[in-house]
Structure 1
């Protein structure tokens, strides 16, 4: 297992408690109460924003405002169709501006980061000399969304990251140079903007320089970066960026791929259908260039508008305020957990600097799923457990059985972090108070007394799931 110390991210003295740290921006559901197994109701501590972030209140307000204006786009002559088209295309420009898109970049509205990277994988050109599939270089630290797409239609090389950031960058640079020397250059380097497991990141500027020197382009998985740090395609030289609305406080089903247009204009259209074509005959098709080429069908207008609203709201806050807020919460979380016996914080690199608000840990003697179920049932805390769609990384670090991940964002209050640290301390000292069992591979409360929320539509499902057994009764409330 990883035993690296956080030399680059922890101060010399233990961080002060953060009980009084307030959210930077209000989010929908910030005051939602959830039931505990002891009968109390507490404010939900959402420390799972790395999976899906709650909507900003400003985003929800914007969606409510534009819903009455919603209609078909691009080919409708009606007034609301023209308005919806303007809303959609304005959203495209707003999102592009937020991430520093260059004047000639294309911005394609997708479903999420996974969708975006799969789209790009179909546009990587073949080697011009051999006609073989284009080569892609990727690290084993990646989320599966930035690993699996490159294994279909391209020739992917997966490097194991080194023990430090410096060693990892050196490995990437050496492999890129070797590709050039062997006359088998890489077309693309795929790298995460920030790890979804640890929040750590590699230096983008160094990777871009190494890739461009070797004639390769760079795609950045920005799913965990864009919601936490200001980023610019133009300033960094990154060629392609993918990120998700549901991680950027706009959970309305839209994501983005933005970057150099030549590959996207020449690539096979991602979806075959209406809107992506100029002319269709029974024997031939002329495809559009530009975003329309990959946006067949009715686009997600509301999702794009919501993501644009999130970008505007995040841009309205001083970057230093967001960093200070997140840094205080993360430092306190790491220090608080590391002060506990039997708790280990997961790290990839000893020299990682400026990690985002994602912290993964284990508690010796407890399955990660049991820890997560305990935090929910007895403390009203939502976290993630498992291997976080990063199986190669967790396996290499010695956490093949999984871990627990806590993540913070602009809507997180300091009290939530303090509650998590106290809850884990209680688990280590005294163990859980409720009884837990495994049902269908998931840890649940045995004889769970927590009610299903009124209006959720799950009452019938709950009765069906239980089937007269005590163990099944606790499955659904944790999933609501």
Structure 2
């Protein structure tokens, strides 16, 4: 057994005709299933679980050590540098909202309209650039508006097209102008290494539930100066160092505790760290090759599927594809795939409404797609197989023809 084996990989589902089949899960971009490393880390902690920090006795002491060790492992996973902090949050959305509140006054945020809502909505008065059609267009657009008063907030990989963005090149442009860079790595971290220096990122955010650790925790990692200067994200115990007898008579903690008010999610942090540790020793090149083989197989299989348009460039991307389905309603097709074929996919706009609308508008302009509410998305990861890919493309062709 491997630490990266999927829990529930043998889940069965019954089809309308009475046949029982293995459930094909192709919705990793929404939430990845749990891997053995995360489940075992939680199970090991449960008998000794207690509140972290300041408590006495074996439960509190064990839990405190586990929590801070989790922080150290995540710091290694993201390549934290001297002066960086790792803060545990609820998810990527929570991480980016925290950082948005910590921006110094007068900071402008530059972002593209193709971002997931987690990175599109939290920033005060952002400058929204049109979603680019090529890496070169993205670089040119940022070069035209960036300066030292800015922070560039950009995705590592699109949750709609799977496209891997030219983050390092964008970061080099931003840093040359004195700006900082925030990377939404929610979709990138499960598929590729996410070192802060390698990406050129000042800050990095990702979610445990997309990284095979669905226990309600996320991560914000990056430079400490803005975080230590900002008001705490949550006012309360843990964030406060001292509290006097009168309102306002207090001092706030520095370091991660400043923004981790309340009792932290120890089990979520331990689960994320366990997956990070497993990925640190895994053969990431082999995992990447396997994923790209599955992606190529999926694209080839879609060639035989009628009335669909595949979105996304030919340059590198993670295991995510989104389709327009001509005259068909994607939500209805997704429902039929689940009910009639035991295949879980997703339909809609994927919390990236401006990007999906732009893709649909472009497809309709070519006369391919009737007005509709969204796209059909298939996404995969560690537990996916060639059988899963073939079942999906075959079932989709059958459903669209019937």
Structure 1 and Structure 2 fold alike (TM over 0.5)? yes
Alignment correspondent of 1:187: 150
Alignment correspondent of 1:344: 309
Aligned residues: 389
Q: What displacement does 1:52 show?
A: 0.4
Distance 2:341 2:306 in 1: 20
Which of 158, 177, 200 is matched with 2:128 structurally? 158
**Alpha-carbon contact 1:24-1:410 (below 8 Å) kept:** no
**Alpha-carbon contact 2:321-2:379 (below 8 Å) kept:** yes
**Alpha-carbon contact 2:360-2:374 (below 8 Å) kept:** no
**Alpha-carbon contact 2:242-2:250 (below 8 Å) kept:** yes
Where in structure 2 are the equivalents of 1:188-227 lying within 5 Å?
A: 188-227=151-190
Where in structure 2 are the equivalents of 1:300-339 lying within 5 Å?
A: 300-339=265-304
Q: What displacement does 1:335 show?
A: 1.9
| CA RMSD, 1 decimal | 1.4
Larger Rg: 1
Are 1:268 and 2:247 an aligned pair?
no
**Alpha-carbon contact 2:320-2:379 (below 8 Å) kept:** yes
Where in structure 2 are the equivalents of 1:41-190 lying within 5 Å?
A: 41-127=20-106, 134-150=107-123, 154-176=124-146, 180=147, 185-190=148-153
Q: What displacement does 1:36 show?
A: 1.4
Unaligned runs of 5+ in 2: 362-371
Distance 2:252 2:290 in 1: 47
Q: CA deviation digits over 1:95-141, x for unaligned, max 9? A: 110111112201000000000000000001013xxxxxx21000011
Distance 1:325 1:315 in 2: 17
Q: What displacement does 1:341 show?
A: 2.1
Distance 2:194 2:317 in 1: 14
Alignment correspondent of 2:379: 407
Distance 2:175 2:304 in 1: 43
Q: What displacement does 1:24 show?
A: 10
Which of 273, 283, 287 is matched with 2:252 structurally? 287
**Alpha-carbon contact 1:192-1:222 (below 8 Å) kept:** yes
Q: What displacement does 1:258 show?
A: 0.3
Distance 2:83 2:289 in 1: 34
Q: CA deviation digits over 1:420-456, x for unaligned, max 9? A: 0000111233x1xxxxxxxxxxxxxxxxxxxxxxxxx
SS of equivalent to 1:29: coil
4+ residue runs over 6 A deviation: none
**Alpha-carbon contact 1:24-1:322 (below 8 Å) kept:** no
Alignment correspondent of 1:384: 346
**TM-score under structure 1 normalisation?**
0.79
Distance 1:98 1:387 in 2: 31
Distance 2:237 2:116 in 1: 32
Distance 1:192 1:302 in 2: 27
Which of 206, 215, 224 is matched with 1:243 structurally? 206
Alignment correspondent of 2:365: none
Distance 2:66 2:292 in 1: 35
Alignment correspondent of 1:421: 393
**Alpha-carbon contact 1:208-1:236 (below 8 Å) kept:** yes
User: CA separation of 1:165/1:234 partners in 2, compared to 1, >3 Å: closer, same or farther?
Assistant: closer
Unaligned runs of 5+ in 1: 1-22, 128-133, 432-480
